[in-house]
Amino acid sequence: MKEALTIRVPMKILLVDDNKDNVELLRQILMDEYTLFFAYSGDECIAKAIAEQPELILLDVHMPKMDGYETMKKLQQDEVTCNIPVIFASAYYTDPVMIVRGLEQGAFDYLTKPIDESILLAKVRTIYKIKMADDKIRQQKDELQLVNDKLQSADKLKSIFLASMSHELRTPLNSIIGFTGLMLMEVAGTINEKQKEQLNRVKRNSQHLLELINDVLDISKIEADKVELSISAFDLIRLVNEIVQNIAPEIQAKGLSLKVNQPEKAITVENDPMRIRQILMNFMSNALKFTKQGSISVELGLNDDSTQAVITIKDTGIGIKAEHMRNLFEPFQQISGDFTNSYKGTGLGLYLCKKLSTLIQADIQVSSELDSGSQFTLILPKKINMGIIE
């Protein structure tokens, strides 16, 4: 990519002094390299600065009616002129007190009269270099912002495309799963054991593919701002019990023990039960997947001031390496202690959980120790704040 041609425009300088001879001297020194404007009082300085917006002001300190310090103060109070660098000029700048006062006033630098031509040019050229560097940084910032805007637009279009494609893929896949189920039920006629085995394999892989498509569809909808929450009041304990009952046979089939600790009194929350179910089912599925022996426990309750519901799912599985914790909620990351084929998965589950938790104004906390198990906690408000849902 070719670098854009930079045209250097002479820096605009405003020369301010009540003595016209001093102004003429400065003009003679600077006229060949810079565009110059002139003012002979504090009031005229402010008016010219607003009108011409120079990139540097050379300002005499001792002027009648309004001295350089007062002029500087008024320049700094105006949005148009507040960022223009000022170099004070005075015969009194041999006094350290005057130098300090000028710098504290906000001056970029100072010059001592009579002005030395080489020192003046060196200081002005320094400011010019700073200006050029600042302009380049500002230009690069604008270019980066433009690129970022294009990337965000492209990312949103990608999400919309994936959502559309995922929806189109689900329709034929649901038919495959449905007809496979009918064949296994021998609705159209008997099948042998080998055929049953192959059909079950088709059904399992089709369901796995459907789960992946559903995850992609949900994530795409979230990233394209197409998700609508369905808020209602419901008993959280009942919802958790339904999830536990659904997955309990698989836990028992694996030889694991299941522990549930919950209050007897109902916990009513106002939120989206489907999204909460998605998150908790993911936590439970991961606990089941990564636990070979021991137990899975579910604990449900309220926080200390009873404003939030807290659901914790704990397992005695393989745990998570410390270096993997920081990438836990990134897409296409496995939460297992290694990345071998022992634990198959899409790597989208926890990423989706994090996205969904933000939507329902909930928080996810995780703690884990390698070879000792993991603990996932969902903390959600008893009542979602509708005012901050976009």
Positions of CATH 3.30.565.10 in the chain: 232-388
pLDDT at 340: 43
What does the CA dihedral 86, 107, 41, 97 come to, rounded to 10 degrees? -150
Segment 144-171 shows an average pLDDT of 76
34 touches 11 (CB < 8 A): yes
Segment 107-134 shows an average pLDDT of 84
pLDDT at 1: 43
pLDDT at 150: 83
pLDDT of 106 strictly over 80: no
pLDDT digit string, tens, across residues 178-218: 899 899 998 888 999 999 899 989 988 888 788 778 777 77
pLDDT at 356: 92
Give the whole-angstrom CA distance, residue 211 versus residue 186.
Answer: 26
Segment 133-152 shows an average pLDDT of 84
Report which of residues 105 and 382 the model is more confident about.
382
Q: How confident is the model at residue 226 (pLDDT cuts 50, 70, 90)?
A: confident
pLDDT at 315: 95
3-class SS of residue 106:
coil
Q: Which of 22-36, 141-155, 256-270 has the weakest average pLDDT? A: 141-155
pLDDT of 4 strictly over 60: no
3-class SS of residue 303:
coil
Positions of CATH 3.40.50.2300 in the chain: 12-115
Positions of CATH 1.10.287 in the chain: 148-223
pLDDT at 7: 54
pLDDT of 159 strictly over 90: no
Architecture (CATH level 2) of domain 12-115: 3-Layer(aba) Sandwich (3.40)
Task: Write the class of the CATH domain 148-223.
Answer: mainly alpha
Q: How confident is the model at residue 274 (pLDDT cuts 50, 70, 90)?
A: very high
CATH code for residues 232-388: 3.30.565.10
Q: How confident is the model at residue 2 (pLDDT cuts 50, 70, 90)?
A: very low
Provide the token pair at 253.
């089939």
Average pLDDT over the chain reads: 85
Alpha helices in the chain (DSSP H): 20-30, 42-52, 68-77, 96-105, 117-184, 193-223, 236-253, 273-289, 322-325, 349-359
Q: Which residues pair with 381 in a beta bridge?
A: 308
> Phi and psi at residue 120, in whole multiples of 5°?
-60, -50
pLDDT digit string, tens, across residues 327-385: 888 876 555 444 444 555 556 788 889 999 999 999 999 999 998 999 999 999 999 98
